[in-house]
Structure 1
Amino acid sequence: MARRWQVITVELLGGRGIDLDPPPGRDLIAPPSTTFAELAHAIDLAFARWDRAHHHEFTLADGTRIIDDVAQRDLAARAATGGPILDRVLPGTTQVKPLLERGDTMRYVFDLSDRWVYRCAITDKISVERLIGPRITGPQPIRGWGDLPDQYGRTRPDAERHRGAGSRRVDDEGGGAGGARPAPEALESGPSRRARRAAERAGAPDRWDHLGCEGRRDPRDARGERGRPRHLEFLEEFGAPVAEPVDVGAVRRARARRDIPSLVSAITGADCRHALQQVGACLAGAWRSSDGPGHALREPMTAAMLSAITQLGLRGWPGDDVLAELIMARLRQERPAGSPLPLRLGALVTSIAAAGQRDGVWLDLDTGVVWPASILAARAGRDWAGPITPPVEGDAALGIAPGHRWLHLDESDPGTAWSDRRAFIAHLAGGRSEEEIINARALRRGAERGPEAFYAAVVDRGLDSLWLTFRDDRRWGRARAALAAEGLRPA
């Protein structure tokens, strides 16, 4: 049976800030064994990318990225402006055919600085033996159209390479002196130069301007609906689906089992912006218990931790800066700031939440023991209307030794609850999907009518689980900041 090769239609949409309209394109045939690295090499050759010493990447419709030898930690900052802290990444040795069928589209970006953007679509399958014989063993172009711009925008040899001692740059029509190579215009005949200048004055490009016409045309001609060049819209919007919220329970279970592969799997492709305190703490703890520099998943863990540090800095909630410093200290294998306190931050936050409106909890800063203020006040026979004071010291029944330091933590302030609700609305309003924006508007209307209406709107929109995780993350940050103010950190 004849082998069926994929036909991949590749169009160069633009790069270096310019759009190509209509875009030049090439049809490539690729054998079933073609890898993304081999396809990238074939595309670069087909589109005259003569300097191929640049990084590149493919992006599939579901957001999966196929990269070359770029370390994941070098790409972490690109994922830190929103969405997942760890992208779904595959190596360049991955084969194309198992991931793409006829009709599928992907994006290819050559040179991550100049960002030459290509749209690639699987358009057909052919029996290559019947067309060109069995000698072709790798992806090859079979058809092409359009004019190809130079990857650096040059229309003549680089003047710097041909500048002689004492000569001036060959940037003018008059050419250079002192051994510099003259510009191509200086080699033209007289009538051709006059015709060219007349065409330029008339604003009509001729054959000499054809290669550079894309860079000189009105930039508004190729703008998309949002005012950006169309190739940049494709670059920003394709392969950027709305990420699902991270399963914090799965992250915690993986951390408790010290199962780093499961931890990486739980955060890959998931939106962690609303749970950075909880996810970041698990990352820092798992890194400490990992197998050191030779760990097989050290690279994605490094990328996730760097991305989490950046997102924490951008978010800027109370305690985010403290956690970012802790994660960076783990990466550098340095001792974190603050004295360790034998305390689980999650247990502390749960105790604070359970205290409700009853004056919060008292934390023993020497032992890490948490006492609800209601229990201590009832035992001492205190009046709830009286001022809040530290627990009774030297109570042998409760095991409270004299001379300990205490920290009062309370979440009953209505202003704190209102701040959390307002931050949750802003979190949804900053989303990329229309559903998130609609949810934010509904919650905003509920918040204007009071806390009960807000919580009812949360349940009606199916956001109760997301809200609880978000609220807990705010509480984690406040508790972490309060401990840091005392020179402590959870052990």
Structure 2
Amino acid sequence: MGPMRAPRGYGSIGTMARRWQVITVELLGGRGIDLDPPPGRDLIAPPSTTFAELARAIDLAFARWDRAHHHEFALADGTRIIDDAPQRDLATRAATGGPILDRVLPGTTAVKPLLGRGDTMRYVFDLSDRWVYRCTVTDKIGVDQLIGPRITGPQPIRGWGDLPDQYGRIRPDAERHRGAGGRRVDDEGNGAGGARPAPEAFEPGSSRRARRAAERAEARDRRDQPDREEPRAPRGPRGERGRPRHLEFLEEFGASVAEPVDVGAVRRAWARRDIPSLVSALTGADCRHVLQQVGACLAGTWRASNGPGHALCEPMTAAMLSTITQLELRGWPGDDVLAELIMARLRGERPAGSPLPLRLGALVTSIAAGGQRDGVWLDVDTGVVWPASILATRAGRDWTGPIAPPVEGDDALGIAPGHHWLHLDESDPGAAWSDRRAFIAHVGGGRTEEEIVSARALGRGAERGPEAFYAAVADRGLDSLWLAFRDDRRWGRARAALAAEGLRPA
């Protein structure tokens, strides 16, 4: 006997049938209100279902009649699936913290490879009213078990609960144009042009007052009978109502802690002008502690990604806009200069300042190698850097005296006459102390208990002195994070010093 076959249009019984997913979708709330218990629908999704198709099925199942709104899905690891809205506009919403470039997938991505049984994701319809849905893969089902019309895509098969109107309307208010003199009467009887009068507009004043008094009495009855009252959010310490639970789910779900970015991978991609590797290194990574270095890499590779039809132009734009926002919020020395440079690159304008033939990273490395007392002398005409200690030894000067710039016209050093010199160093003891305090604040700004404990340990070490602080950094395994953080502070100070002289690194 041959294999059984399902009726035409339902798929085959067996392997293919068992692969269809049942996704339970619950509407938690929207427009600032919670729905408790939440209404829900069970949707059956074929294996080929995309997120765009699933979004359309959810909207129709929950009576979203005006679907001209943006929407997005979010997975538990923070990956977002967006509709046709430009990625650069959506990515800037996350620019106040965390990754400068989110993990984003298009709506044409298939659902099944990313979600298995028991997995949950979030769906938001209308990013302004924020109707929040919780979607869970609860089962697998064969289409042979269903009775009905042919299934061509994700369909609701079960439902419960009352569905609120997406705009909170309880009566029709469709626009009806009645010519130049057309008017409508609103709930209070005031004239306004456009829509059909509400039924209450024709009530006598006494009837309207009586109806509203009855509504207020019914509301008091619901308050006096807790068993009839809908659950309400708990009050805060000052008596305010707490945040709606659906907004807490919106903010907390998928908000995983991002790992620090691999600065070495970013620099290697920058040196090779490898845009795919640069985008990959920045996606989903925490760049807050190395914004100077990351921003310089983005600005330096922007021209290579700005070609006509370049596939990675959109993520590069999103990363640069997010970096600008984070630089403005962070406000360290030199951050404002870099933000203006990145914006000039985006606009295709000439950045402020005269270009200096020198990489900022090389200059910072030379300053650090020169020691915190001596620093370096920078030839702002050629970009040549001379450590002050070498010049002092050559001139045979006393180390306690001031270090003068190189002697003009020194043929041995290749210094031509008439050049302008700039002295840069890290001799200010307040700068090192400020770096340590800023690092403690950065670590303590995390959301995990481990980060909070580490910040307290670093704070106790800083109170006992620099050596105790560095020992606490080593004990907590934060060496690489601290070095990248300290270097970024130095990059900002060097950039600010050059900008004060009207210069910018090439």
Pairing of 1:196-235 with structure 2 (within 5 A): 197-198=213-214, 200-203=216-219, 220=234, 227-235=242-250
Q: Which amino acid in the other structure matches residue 48 of structure 2?
A: S
- CA-to-partner distance for each residue in 1:163-202, whole Å, 9 max, x for gaps? 9947563213x798999745345799x9999788535314
Paired residues of 2:175 and 2:196 also in contact (CA < 8 A): no
- CA-to-partner distance for each residue in 1:410-437, whole Å, 9 max, x for gaps? 1132110000001111111222222222
Residue 487 (1) aligns with residue 502 (2): yes
In structure 2, the partner of 1:209 is none
Deviation at 1:146, TM superposition (A): 1.2
Question: Matched residue of 2:257: which SS?
Answer: coil
In structure 2, the partner of 1:317 is 332
Stretch moving more, 381-390 or 88-97: 381-390
In structure 1, the partner of 2:17 is 3
Deviation at 1:291, TM superposition (A): 5.4
Cα distance between partner residues in 2 of 1:132 and 1:26: 17
Cα distance between partner residues in 1 of 2:486 and 2:270: 21
Question: Matched residue of 1:62: which SS?
Answer: coil
Cα distance between partner residues in 2 of 1:61 and 1:434: 20
Q: Which amino acid in the other structure matches residue 122 of structure 2?
A: R
Pairing of 1:342-421 with structure 2 (within 5 A): 342-421=357-436
Question: Matched residue of 1:44: which SS?
Answer: helix
Deviation at 1:29, TM superposition (A): 0.7
In structure 2, the partner of 1:158 is 173
Paired residues of 2:183 and 2:191 also in contact (CA < 8 A): yes
- CA-to-partner distance for each residue in 1:250-282, whole Å, 9 max, x for gaps? 011011111100000000000000000001100
**Alpha carbons of structure 1 residues 161 and 409: separation in structure 2 relative to 1, 3 Å:** farther
**Alpha carbons of structure 1 residues 34 and 386: separation in structure 2 relative to 1, 3 Å:** same
Of residues 68, 81, 89, the one that matches 2:104 is: 89
Of residues 38, 48, 54, the one that matches 2:63 is: 48
Paired residues of 1:28 and 1:142 also in contact (CA < 8 A): yes
In structure 2, the partner of 1:210 is none
Residue 117 (1) aligns with residue 132 (2): yes
Pairing of 1:222-261 with structure 2 (within 5 A): 227-261=242-276
In structure 1, the partner of 2:185 is 169
Cα distance between partner residues in 2 of 1:74 and 1:412: 43
Q: Which amino acid in the other structure matches residue 214 of structure 2?
A: A
TM-score (norm 2): 0.89
Cα distance between partner residues in 2 of 1:373 and 1:191: 92
Pairing of 1:454-469 with structure 2 (within 5 A): 454-469=469-484
Deviation at 1:119, TM superposition (A): 0.5
In structure 2, the partner of 1:101 is 116
**Alpha carbons of structure 1 residues 180 and 343: separation in structure 2 relative to 1, 3 Å:** closer
Cα distance between partner residues in 2 of 1:142 and 1:484: 65
Paired residues of 1:243 and 1:270 also in contact (CA < 8 A): yes
Question: Matched residue of 2:23: which SS?
Answer: strand
Q: Which amino acid in the other structure matches residue 429 of structure 2?
A: P
Question: Matched residue of 1:377: which SS?
Answer: helix
Question: Matched residue of 2:122: which SS?
Answer: strand
Stretch moving more, 106-115 or 429-438: 429-438
**Alpha carbons of structure 1 residues 227 and 458: separation in structure 2 relative to 1, 3 Å:** farther
Task: Tell me the C-alpha RMSD between the 2 structures.
Answer: 2.8
- CA-to-partner distance for each residue in 1:109-142, whole Å, 9 max, x for gaps? 0011111111100000011122236711111111
Paired residues of 1:222 and 1:229 also in contact (CA < 8 A): no
Paired residues of 1:86 and 1:267 also in contact (CA < 8 A): yes
In structure 2, the partner of 1:38 is 53
Pairing of 1:269-348 with structure 2 (within 5 A): 269-290=284-305, 292-348=307-363
Of residues 12, 18, 26, the one that matches 2:27 is: 12
Deviation at 1:228, TM superposition (A): 1.7
Paired residues of 1:358 and 1:374 also in contact (CA < 8 A): no
- CA-to-partner distance for each residue in 1:331-381, whole Å, 9 max, x for gaps? 111111111111011111111111123411111101101111100011111
**Alpha carbons of structure 1 residues 218 and 124: separation in structure 2 relative to 1, 3 Å:** closer
Deviation at 1:39, TM superposition (A): 0.3
Structure 1 unaligned residues grouped into runs of 5+: 207-212
Cα distance between partner residues in 2 of 1:269 and 1:469: 18
In structure 2, the partner of 1:425 is 440
Cα distance between partner residues in 2 of 1:16 and 1:134: 35
Question: Matched residue of 1:3: which SS?
Answer: helix
**Alpha carbons of structure 1 residues 52 and 481: separation in structure 2 relative to 1, 3 Å:** same
Cα distance between partner residues in 2 of 1:134 and 1:33: 19
In structure 1, the partner of 2:277 is 262
Paired residues of 2:99 and 2:285 also in contact (CA < 8 A): yes
Cα distance between partner residues in 2 of 1:9 and 1:235: 17
